[in-house]
Amino acid sequence: MQSLGIVFTELGDGYLRATMPVDARTHQPYGLLHGGASVALAETLGSSAGMLMAGGNAVVGLEINANHLRAVRSGVVTGTARPIHIGRSTQVWEILIEDEAGKSVCISRITLSVLPQPPASGRP
């Protein structure tokens, strides 16, 4: 998170929000926001929000997808994670990433597996 400049900014009723700069750290070779950076923001938000809802259990990603909707060259993007499904063994989150004008940049969905306890340290 630190290397991409991701910062959590808001935790509200039913959502978690974070920002990420669009600069040399997050650009692809054409000077645009790298799709992988958008997915990293989405996974960070979805997994973190999922962990907050897991009641002390661990969550791990099963699947993530992303549709890149608009190019961004500079500034800051904001991602907002909202739950679609919170179950005992799985969670599904939608993450909308927007530019500074509030225009949609990327829409992502992540499916998480809820583990009965945090994984043991040093084990895969």
Mean pLDDT, consecutive 10-residue segments, the chain of 124 residues?
A: 95 97 97 98 98 94 98 98 97 98 98 83 59
pLDDT at 98: 98
Contact 48, 16 (CB under 8 A): yes
Single out the catalytic residue among 43, 63, 94, 98.
Answer: 43
CA–CA separation, 124 and 27 (whole Å): 31
Domains of the chain by start residue, with CATH = 2-115 (3.10.129.10)
Residue 10 is among the residues annotated as catalytic for this protein: no
Cβ atoms of residues 2 and 21 within 8 Å: no
- Rounded CA separation 100/22 (Å): 11
Side chain identity, residue 99? D
pLDDT of residue 124: 56
Q: What is the DSSP string of the chain?
A: -GGGT-EEEEEETTEEEEEEEESTTTB-TTSSB-HHHHHHHHHHHHHHHHHHHTTT-EEEEEEEEEEE-S---SEEEEEEEEEEEE-SSEEEEEEEEE-TTS-EEEEEEEEEEEESSPPPTT--
Residue carrying structure tokens 């991701």 = 6
